[in-house]
Protein backbone atom coordinates (compact mmCIF):
# COMPACT_ATOMS: atom_id res chain seq x y z
CA UNK A 1 0.00 0.00 0.00
CA UNK A 2 1.10 3.58 -0.64
CA UNK A 3 1.21 5.55 2.60
CA UNK A 4 0.44 9.26 2.77
CA UNK A 5 -0.31 11.92 5.34
CA UNK A 6 -3.10 14.47 5.57
CA UNK A 7 -1.44 17.87 5.78
CA UNK A 8 -0.94 21.07 3.80
CA UNK A 9 1.75 20.80 1.09
CA UNK A 10 3.70 23.69 2.59
CA UNK A 11 4.15 21.76 5.83
CA UNK A 12 6.30 19.23 3.97
CA UNK A 13 9.72 20.84 3.88
CA UNK A 14 11.50 17.67 2.74
CA UNK A 15 10.83 14.17 1.49
CA UNK A 16 10.41 11.55 4.21
CA UNK A 17 11.49 7.93 3.80
CA UNK A 18 8.46 5.68 3.54
CA UNK A 19 6.01 8.49 2.72
CA UNK A 20 4.48 8.30 -0.75
CA UNK A 21 2.00 11.16 -1.05
CA UNK A 22 0.30 14.12 0.60
CA UNK A 23 -3.43 14.62 1.07
CA UNK A 24 -4.63 18.19 1.61
CA UNK A 25 -8.05 19.77 1.95
CA UNK A 26 -10.20 20.98 -0.92
CA UNK A 27 -10.35 24.50 0.54
CA UNK A 28 -6.57 24.76 0.87
CA UNK A 29 -5.57 23.04 -2.37
CA UNK A 30 -8.33 24.07 -4.75
CA UNK A 31 -9.94 27.13 -3.07
CA UNK A 32 -13.18 26.62 -5.07
CA UNK A 33 -14.76 29.85 -3.84
CA UNK A 34 -11.79 31.99 -4.82
CA UNK A 35 -10.58 33.25 -8.18
CA UNK A 36 -7.99 31.85 -10.54
CA UNK A 37 -5.13 33.90 -9.12
CA UNK A 38 -5.67 32.34 -5.69
CA UNK A 39 -5.72 28.88 -7.23
CA UNK A 40 -2.54 29.60 -9.18
CA UNK A 41 -0.72 30.16 -5.87
CA UNK A 42 -2.07 26.92 -4.43
CA UNK A 43 -1.10 25.06 -7.59
CA UNK A 44 2.44 26.42 -7.30
CA UNK A 45 2.60 25.32 -3.64
CA UNK A 46 1.46 21.82 -4.56
CA UNK A 47 4.03 21.56 -7.34
CA UNK A 48 6.76 22.74 -4.98
CA UNK A 49 5.92 20.02 -2.45
CA UNK A 50 8.70 17.40 -2.26
CA UNK A 51 6.05 14.66 -2.40
CA UNK A 52 3.19 14.23 -4.88
CA UNK A 53 -0.09 15.78 -3.78
CA UNK A 54 -2.61 13.14 -4.80
CA UNK A 55 -5.76 13.55 -2.71
CA UNK A 56 -7.99 16.15 -1.06
CA UNK A 57 -10.55 15.80 1.72
CA UNK A 58 -13.27 18.00 3.31
CA UNK A 59 -14.97 18.43 -0.04
CA UNK A 60 -17.75 20.83 0.97
CA UNK A 61 -18.13 23.63 3.51
CA UNK A 62 -20.81 23.08 6.13
CA UNK A 63 -23.06 25.83 4.82
CA UNK A 64 -23.29 24.26 1.34
CA UNK A 65 -25.87 21.61 2.18
CA UNK A 66 -26.11 18.26 0.45
CA UNK A 67 -29.03 16.88 2.46
CA UNK A 68 -32.26 18.45 3.68
CA UNK A 69 -34.76 20.97 2.34
CA UNK A 70 -32.19 23.71 1.69
CA UNK A 71 -30.14 21.80 -0.89
CA UNK A 72 -29.51 23.80 -4.07
CA UNK A 73 -28.30 21.22 -6.61
CA UNK A 74 -27.30 23.88 -9.15
CA UNK A 75 -25.11 25.68 -6.59
CA UNK A 76 -23.61 22.40 -5.38
CA UNK A 77 -22.83 21.26 -8.91
CA UNK A 78 -21.28 24.62 -9.85
CA UNK A 79 -18.96 24.25 -6.85
CA UNK A 80 -18.15 20.64 -7.77
CA UNK A 81 -17.39 21.65 -11.37
CA UNK A 82 -14.70 24.05 -10.12
CA UNK A 83 -13.34 21.38 -7.78
CA UNK A 84 -13.09 18.83 -10.58
CA UNK A 85 -11.48 21.18 -13.09
CA UNK A 86 -8.85 22.37 -10.62
CA UNK A 87 -8.25 18.87 -9.26
CA UNK A 88 -7.51 17.74 -12.81
CA UNK A 89 -5.05 20.58 -13.30
CA UNK A 90 -3.32 19.74 -10.02
CA UNK A 91 -3.15 16.06 -10.84
CA UNK A 92 -5.20 14.87 -7.88
CA UNK A 93 -6.54 11.32 -8.03
CA UNK A 94 -8.90 11.19 -5.04
CA UNK A 95 -11.46 13.64 -3.63
CA UNK A 96 -13.04 12.68 -0.31
CA UNK A 97 -16.72 13.39 0.35
CA UNK A 98 -16.96 13.28 4.13
CA UNK A 99 -18.08 16.84 4.89
CA UNK A 100 -20.16 16.07 7.98
CA UNK A 101 -21.56 19.58 8.26
CA UNK A 102 -22.77 19.62 4.67
CA UNK A 103 -24.08 16.08 4.84
CA UNK A 104 -25.77 16.21 8.26
CA UNK A 105 -29.48 15.48 7.96
CA UNK A 106 -31.59 18.25 9.53
CA UNK A 107 -33.88 17.28 12.39
CA UNK A 108 -37.24 16.10 11.09
CA UNK A 109 -36.02 15.45 7.55
CA UNK A 110 -36.60 11.95 6.23
CA UNK A 111 -33.40 9.90 6.37
CA UNK A 112 -34.27 7.84 3.30
CA UNK A 113 -34.85 11.04 1.34
CA UNK A 114 -31.44 12.31 2.50
CA UNK A 115 -29.81 9.09 1.31
CA UNK A 116 -31.54 9.57 -2.05
CA UNK A 117 -30.09 13.09 -2.21
CA UNK A 118 -26.57 11.79 -1.59
CA UNK A 119 -26.97 9.16 -4.29
CA UNK A 120 -28.28 11.80 -6.69
CA UNK A 121 -25.25 14.01 -6.05
CA UNK A 122 -22.84 11.14 -6.62
CA UNK A 123 -24.58 10.18 -9.85
CA UNK A 124 -24.22 13.74 -11.15
CA UNK A 125 -20.64 14.13 -9.95
CA UNK A 126 -19.39 10.85 -11.41
CA UNK A 127 -19.21 12.07 -15.04
CA UNK A 128 -17.55 15.34 -13.93
CA UNK A 129 -14.96 13.33 -12.00
CA UNK A 130 -14.33 11.05 -14.98
CA UNK A 131 -13.69 14.02 -17.26
CA UNK A 132 -11.13 15.39 -14.77
CA UNK A 133 -9.47 12.03 -14.16
CA UNK A 134 -10.37 11.92 -10.47
CA UNK A 135 -12.47 9.66 -8.26
CA UNK A 136 -14.89 10.78 -5.55
CA UNK A 137 -14.84 8.55 -2.47
CA UNK A 138 -17.72 8.59 -0.01
CA UNK A 139 -16.38 8.61 3.56
CA UNK A 140 -18.39 7.01 6.37
CA UNK A 141 -18.07 9.21 9.49
CA UNK A 142 -18.63 8.28 13.12
CA UNK A 143 -21.96 9.25 14.66
CA UNK A 144 -20.53 12.17 16.62
CA UNK A 145 -19.39 13.84 13.40
CA UNK A 146 -22.43 13.16 11.23
CA UNK A 147 -25.81 11.40 11.36
CA UNK A 148 -25.81 9.66 7.98
CA UNK A 149 -23.38 7.28 6.25
CA UNK A 150 -21.92 6.08 9.55
CA UNK A 151 -20.66 2.66 8.50
CA UNK A 152 -18.76 1.11 5.64
CA UNK A 153 -21.80 -1.01 4.84
CA UNK A 154 -24.10 2.01 4.61
CA UNK A 155 -21.59 3.81 2.42
CA UNK A 156 -21.20 0.77 0.19
CA UNK A 157 -24.94 0.62 -0.39
CA UNK A 158 -25.05 4.24 -1.56
CA UNK A 159 -22.00 3.81 -3.79
CA UNK A 160 -23.59 0.76 -5.39
CA UNK A 161 -26.74 2.76 -6.01
CA UNK A 162 -24.74 5.62 -7.56
CA UNK A 163 -23.27 3.04 -9.95
CA UNK A 164 -20.43 5.03 -11.51
CA UNK A 165 -16.78 3.92 -11.83
CA UNK A 166 -15.54 7.31 -10.59
CA UNK A 167 -17.61 7.08 -7.40
CA UNK A 168 -16.14 4.78 -4.80
CA UNK A 169 -15.84 4.24 -1.05
CA UNK A 170 -13.35 5.21 1.66
CA UNK A 171 -12.57 3.06 4.71
CA UNK A 172 -11.24 4.96 7.76
CA UNK A 173 -10.02 2.87 10.69
CA UNK A 174 -10.50 5.82 13.07
CA UNK A 175 -14.22 6.17 12.35
CA UNK A 176 -14.67 2.40 12.26
CA UNK A 177 -12.98 1.94 15.64
CA UNK A 178 -14.95 4.83 17.18
CA UNK A 179 -18.29 3.26 16.27
CA UNK A 180 -17.39 -0.44 16.41
CA UNK A 181 -17.74 -0.95 12.66
CA UNK A 182 -16.20 -4.43 12.16
CA UNK A 183 -13.37 -5.30 9.76
CA UNK A 184 -15.74 -7.70 8.02
CA UNK A 185 -17.54 -4.63 6.60
CA UNK A 186 -14.42 -3.91 4.55
CA UNK A 187 -14.42 -7.44 3.13
CA UNK A 188 -18.10 -7.12 2.26
CA UNK A 189 -17.49 -3.82 0.45
CA UNK A 190 -14.75 -5.49 -1.58
CA UNK A 191 -13.71 -3.69 -4.74
CA UNK A 192 -15.73 -0.57 -3.92
CA UNK A 193 -12.96 0.76 -1.66
CA UNK A 194 -10.65 3.18 -3.47
CA UNK A 195 -9.02 5.06 -0.58
CA UNK A 196 -8.31 4.64 3.13
CA UNK A 197 -7.55 6.76 6.19
CA UNK A 198 -6.23 5.65 9.55
CA UNK A 199 -5.75 6.83 13.13
CA UNK A 200 -6.48 5.42 16.57
CA UNK A 201 -9.93 5.93 18.06
CA UNK A 202 -8.60 7.35 21.33
CA UNK A 203 -7.33 10.86 20.72
CA UNK A 204 -7.03 10.34 16.96
CA UNK A 205 -3.30 9.74 17.37
CA UNK A 206 -1.36 7.95 14.63
CA UNK A 207 -1.76 4.17 14.54
CA UNK A 208 0.63 2.60 17.05
CA UNK A 209 0.95 5.66 19.28
CA UNK A 210 -1.76 4.66 21.75
CA UNK A 211 -1.43 0.91 21.66
CA UNK A 212 -4.49 0.09 19.55
CA UNK A 213 -4.25 -2.85 17.20
CA UNK A 214 -5.52 -1.91 13.74
CA UNK A 215 -4.12 -5.00 12.06
CA UNK A 216 -7.60 -6.57 11.71
CA UNK A 217 -8.63 -3.62 9.51
CA UNK A 218 -5.48 -3.87 7.42
CA UNK A 219 -5.96 -7.62 7.05
CA UNK A 220 -9.50 -6.98 5.85
CA UNK A 221 -8.20 -4.49 3.29
CA UNK A 222 -5.75 -7.11 2.02
CA UNK A 223 -8.47 -9.74 1.92
CA UNK A 224 -10.62 -7.35 -0.13
CA UNK A 225 -7.78 -7.03 -2.64
CA UNK A 226 -7.02 -3.45 -1.71
CA UNK A 227 -3.51 -2.23 -2.55
CA UNK A 228 -4.10 1.50 -2.92
CA UNK A 229 -3.44 4.59 -0.85
CA UNK A 230 -3.82 4.90 2.91
CA UNK A 231 -3.38 8.31 4.54
CA UNK A 232 -2.61 9.02 8.18
CA UNK A 233 -5.27 11.53 9.28
CA UNK A 234 -4.25 12.20 12.86
CA UNK A 235 -3.62 14.76 15.58
CA UNK A 236 0.05 15.57 16.08
CA UNK A 237 2.02 17.02 18.96
CA UNK A 238 5.16 17.54 16.85
CA UNK A 239 4.52 16.69 13.22
CA UNK A 240 8.10 16.60 11.95
CA UNK A 241 9.51 14.48 14.74
CA UNK A 242 6.53 12.14 15.07
CA UNK A 243 5.97 11.46 11.36
CA UNK A 244 8.87 9.01 10.80
CA UNK A 245 7.83 6.99 13.84
CA UNK A 246 4.20 7.02 12.69
CA UNK A 247 5.20 5.70 9.28
CA UNK A 248 7.26 2.91 10.83
CA UNK A 249 4.46 1.90 13.21
CA UNK A 250 1.88 1.91 10.44
CA UNK A 251 4.01 -0.08 8.01
CA UNK A 252 4.70 -2.67 10.71
CA UNK A 253 0.99 -3.19 11.43
CA UNK A 254 0.22 -3.41 7.71
CA UNK A 255 3.00 -5.94 7.14
CA UNK A 256 1.95 -8.02 10.18
CA UNK A 257 -1.75 -7.99 9.25
Task: Please give the chain's pLDDT, 257 residues, in tens.
Answer: 999 999 999 999 999 999 999 999 999 999 999 999 999 999 999 999 999 999 999 999 999 999 999 999 999 999 999 999 999 999 999 999 999 999 999 999 999 999 999 999 999 999 999 999 999 999 999 999 999 999 999 999 999 999 999 999 999 999 999 999 999 999 999 899 999 999 999 999 999 999 999 999 999 999 999 999 999 999 999 999 999 999 999 999 999 99
pLDDT computed for residue 190 by the predictor: 85
Q: Which residues contact 252 (CB under 8 A, 6 or more apart)?
A: 208
pTM above 0.85, yes or no: yes
- Distance CA(6)–CA(105), nearest Å, equals 27
Q: Which fold has domain 2-256?
A: TIM Barrel (3.20.20)
Q: Could you state, in order of their start, the residue ranges of all structural domains in the chain?
A: 2-256
**Contact (Cβ atoms closer than 8 angstroms) between residue 164 and residue 137:** no
Q: What is the DSSP string of the chain?
A: -EEEEES-GGG--S--TT--EEEEEHHHHH-TTS-HHHHHHHHHHHHHSSS-EEEEE--S-TTS-SSSTT--HHHHHHHHHHHHHHHHHHT--EEEE--HHHHPPPTTS-HHHHHHHHHHHHHHHHHHHHHHT-EEEE----TTT-SS--SHHHHHHHHHHH--TTEEEEEEHHHHHHHT--THHHHHHGGGEEEEEE--TTTTPPTTSS----HHHHHHHHHTT--SEEEE----SSHHHHHHHHHHHHHHHHHH-
pLDDT computed for residue 6 by the predictor: 98
pLDDT computed for residue 136 by the predictor: 98
**Torsion sign over Cα 131, 137, 138, 143:** negative
Amino acid sequence: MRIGVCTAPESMTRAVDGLDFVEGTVANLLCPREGESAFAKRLAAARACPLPVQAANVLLPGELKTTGPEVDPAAVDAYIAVVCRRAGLMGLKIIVYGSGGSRRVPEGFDRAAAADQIVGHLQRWGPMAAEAGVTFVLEPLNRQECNIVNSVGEGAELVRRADHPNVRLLADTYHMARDGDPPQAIRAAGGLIAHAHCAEAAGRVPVGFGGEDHRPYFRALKDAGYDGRIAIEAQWEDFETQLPRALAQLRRQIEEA
